[in-house]
Structure 1
Amino acid sequence: MQAFTPLEAGDPERVGPYRIVGRLGSGGMGRVYLARSPGGRATAVKVVHEELAEDAAFRRRFGREVAAARRVTGPFTAPVVDADPDADLPWLATAHVPGLPLGKAVAAHGAWPERSVRALGAGLAEALEAIHGIQMVHRDLKPSNVLLAVDGPRVIDFGISVAAGDTKLTHTGAVVGSPGYLPPEQLVGQEVGPAGDVFALGALLAYTATGSGPFGGGPAYSVNYRVVHEDPDLEGLPDGLADVVARCLAKDPLGRPRVPELIEELGRWEGADGTRGTFTRATWLPAPVVADVTALRAAPLPEEAATATADADLPTVTVASPTAVATARLGAPPAGPSFAARLRRAARQRRTAVLAAAGTLVVLAVVAGLLLPRAFSGTSGRGNGAESTGTPTAAAKELAVREQWSSDTDVWRPVVADGKVVGDQDGVLKAVDAGSGKPVWTYDDPSASSFEGVSDGVVVASSRENGTIQGIALDSGKQVWSVPAKAHTVPGTTWALYMRVIVADGTVYVNTMYHLPEESERYGTYAVSALDTATGRLKWTRPVEWTLSDALAVADGVVYGGVRERDGTYFHALDADTGDQLWRYHASASRHYAGEVTAITVSDGTVYFGDSRSVLHAVDARRGTKLWTYEPDVQTAEEWIEPLMVTDGVVYGGTGDATSDYGTGDVHAVAADSGKPLWTEHTEREPELHGLLDGSVLFSTKAGTLHAADTRTGASPAETRLSSGDPDAAVVGDRVYFDGGDGRLHAGRISLTDG
């Protein structure tokens, strides 16, 4: 195991006096490199993204925060050793910690025993004491900012997120930080002090002890809402930890324990060898994590900077003409998306992928404007013992994407309709020609900031600010109608947010949350509403007393969705024409957190839905009676991810860990009539399914890859790289449209051939 990946063409050879020798990772602030100091010492150098570097306010705050961070000392922090806030691209250097990110450790090996969680908490509390001691607040304590070493944890990036939060790029309402770890006061715009870090520490301990966050998973706004308004789910926490975690997660900052109290309370831990409160050995860690950390520590560091040139293990492919041959690492990689783009994407239905600081090789395969294939053979297997077995046909498949065009007009969540690719970017709706990539129209009304879907020649968009829903003509980009939120707002309430908007069969269906008057005992109420796509006219509204799920689907004149009530999660069916309830199915029971419905599809009289507790349900679509349930054998709680697909008697779906920055995932094939698992294929990041092609299931992951797994076995999937991050792909037949990680929308033709 190694903690770095090779350099790529375009990476710097030096930053200040530091010689760059490898990549450690990337995030919203910048790219992190492994470097050697002039004296040869291993160092981690973070180079700020260009978008932030152009902001004068950021530079000033960055300089102040770096100066303060250099004063932080302590055994559980990675000290800042050098910085240049005035460089063309500001940078800072910290001591290199050959450690495993906490999120990656939990994702790989599951929940920790109590003694290890206590030891982790004691070390992190001591790190916070050092940070708070110089009047600094971390503000972004999360699993990816904790590195695990044999002699204790290390906190990184302290204070730097404050600089990012002060830039003009985040003044439009974006919240800097990670859902589930941000304290309530930060989410509602109040001042954040040391108690905010205590809240994050409590959430982090709960995650480590149970494998899931105390406020569940799902879209960022859903998690943030639960942080502000709902009690944490502490089910599964050992008795010895439940009380201290609950106090750390108090809504009122004044009700949380002080850091010295936590050091005293958590410091009374005992290692696996019986030693008390000492990090001199790796016995504070779970045994499987010790093995990974030890391997990282033993891995040799690169001696020379090596750019990502041709490698023997990469296939050569013919490009442009029969005589033109190139390898997959020629050419400079494209620049990453803007910082503002990353912030917005983080607020979408699923998290933006973050590159891991340890583990797999990440290579952007772009050759002279052509996206090149990289086939590989792999094994699957974590699904109830139903391990897939490869066949010569499956192993021989090679996947390639041959680029057709790229466009300066980039869009997210692209949808292809009537020869156009439609989506939004930074609150602006856009359409490009699907055949050429040329811009067709731009709709820049700021009150239509979120693209929701297309139906019957009308593009539907909603506003996160005031709830307005608009219909825009697909052919011209002109407004057809506009409906304010008050048109469907339940009497006596005010509009709060749209949890989900879908367009189907000439109707816009919305799951909405509304604020109740301040004197009410409950904080909010919900409703499902239907609007006519052609006119925007309200058809019906059905109030829902309890919490609606984000997932929503319409098929055969029925609206399907989930409701989380006091005694568990219910799945309901409503008449699409009237909103009348047809039936109600009790999906799961829990006094605390019963999960939420996260993905729905309907096929041949059966509705299939997955939830955030890893369970896939099959229910008779006419009567609402249970047919079967399937729960994958996974190490951590994973939620089912849209879309689910049913083809030839098989349900295909993806699951992923929504609580981890390094969330891995799985693709599953389940018999549609019985729920019997057919195969499971593990993926390096959360998967998103796109359809079937030539006997293979196509899916992409947030690591930037497109995969094709054999529909019969799931074994030996071929892959090709589309992007340096989440490709946000849309597949129609053998065409794929995606974000190439360079701020451009790309279109390519997919081919699957025998190797």
Structure 2
Amino acid sequence: MKPLGTGDPLRLGPYRLIGVLGSGGMGKVYLGRDGSGGPAALKVLRSELAHDPNLAQRFVREALTARAVRGTGVARVLDARTEPGGPHAGGQPWIATEFLAGPTLDDAVARFGPFDAAGVRALGAALARTLQDVHAAGLVHRDLKPPNIVLTSAGPRVIDFGIARPEHGLTLTTTGQVPVTPGYGPPEQVLGWRVGPAADVFAFGAVLAYAATGQRAFTGDHVAAVQYEVVHGEPRLEGLPPDLRAFVAPCLAKDPAERPTPVQLATALAPQPGAERVWTTGPLAEDIAAREREAVRLAALPERESDPSRDAAAARPSRRRLLTGLVAGGAVLAVGGGTAAWLLAGEDTDGKGDGDRGDDGRAPWDAKALSASAYEQGSAPDPLWGPVEAADENSPAPLPVRDLVVVAGPDGRLHAYDVRTGRRRWKSPAVKADAGLVAPVRDRNGAEALFAATGDGQLLAMNVKDGKRRWAVSARAAALLAADSTAVYLVTSDGELSAVDTSSRKPRWTVPAPVRMSADRPGRAAVGSGRLVVCGTDGRVAGIDTRTGDTAWGPVRRGAPEKGAVALAPAVHGGTVYLGGRELTALTLAGGKRKWGHRADAETGWGAPAVAGNVLYAVDGAFLKARSRTDGGEKWALGQSISGELPRGAAPAVQGHTVWFAKDAEKDAGTQGVVAADARAGQEAWPYSQGTGGDWHLAAAGNRVFVLHGSTLTAMPVI
């Protein structure tokens, strides 16, 4: 890392910059820290390029693309903005990403040797699940390769969505340009044909071959020779064990139709328990841990004085430290022998330089997210689709799942609609419509399952793809609260709390609820890092140990007063839980210790909070407020055009730069509706109403907000 120099910003949004991690053709990457001291990588488009609308659009599209992918297998985008006062006063865009401190796959293989068979299976299963998430968002990564795979203590993460695009996008437009990294792009990509998800499967096979042998599947003396081998030759798989070769070889088929799907690969490669030890124990794990400690140290460096060269020695990591391959989102830093080499996400590797527009002449994400100047303040844009008659009037909020959005239909079944078109894709077996929906989890075979409760108290697991029943277990289930990677947490017909293990398909524990809950008023909950946080209808909150069912902390009274109490949804982020009520409060997730709190101005108290990056959004009486996640300090408040008090049970829906929340549902039919706020300026973007009565439920994902009003479902664009 180099110290900040003349012309380098000291701050970008909420991030204080520590130093320069590197630079490339598209821009610079800085190490920054947020108000709580957490590290982040901030990529800034070069000043001389920022005035080019195509390049600026492409730069921002990289952030939108990565944000659209659900799941933990990709580097998380924390923020993306345009800094005022940039080139030609049009602003200079920047992207803040999660700082991933770990070696890339090629670095790990070079230093520690190829993975064993169990390690390759664990790697393959994790990457296949990530490709499922990428493809479910309607995208093709198009540049999966070892340098774009980071190994962390939590598993492999895929970075660099600089040339990702929707499935219909063309690969090559300029003759003679190399469209992909030689040896990893499939024949159809080399030839400049259309590519689909099968292109990523080809690259996946080449990646596994390298991880298992340390050698590329396709080699040659120069780029043209390698590309010729990809199109006409056979892969070199001699060093692969027979069982692994049976999986890798089909991935490298010349015909895309003959390659397996990520779903098939994730199931076939499901490793034995403990196979992930390749990155949790041994020399590689020690290297990862050292890098993660170094990332924390770098983020804790003192802030720069006005002279950027001051304390440069403190900012510059020692060559003796294990800094080789520090990864900052889409930027890879390799330090060794006193030299540094950089690979920056977003380089023009396919030679287009035109914003990567689709066949219809517009940017692939135009249909999903509005640009900063595309919306007219006070005037709602047209829906992407809907309203469509989709739901029972007692349906809980919509649940976005990959490329679907699921609601409880009027026929007592779950109905899944395509997020792009609004067309119904499937309906489930009969379920209890008002029992709630929880985020899907993966079962013991690595496949993703969606859960619901049936009328006779069974916990029902269904395929996400088609809604068909997979298994059911008697659980006395009255309402579902939350789910994590190992269990579904629910309220029983007797008002008790219960956890059903999704691997054994048996109840893990059943305990009396430490807060007021019942089958017909189950309260709300959130889960993370070994804690189930439950909020009851008595306004009390408790933290439950997800392994044993013991009450780890609480109950504490942080919710609304006893009279007319509303169970407020907690928000879990990292090691903190955020709560509404008489105070907007931050507690440690593990022990329930108070970190900070701010009393509400309104007698009704704070509503349920939503977390987005470093900001909390919550309603206080007639105001929507943005607060710092670090200390609760106010950033802005919006309330001038909002009449009445707002519903407090559910949190606002946040997507992109848009915060959606419901207006007062007690007003007459003409004023009922929802409001979209521009989070950057703290101002109302537009109101949206359908002119009819009924409850409003909101959910956000994939650059859309799904609005369930009464029995109709609508998909709206965001900023």
TM-score, with length taken from structure 1 = 0.38
TM-score, with length taken from structure 2 = 0.40
The higher relative CO (CA closer than 8 Å, separation ≥ 6) is in 1
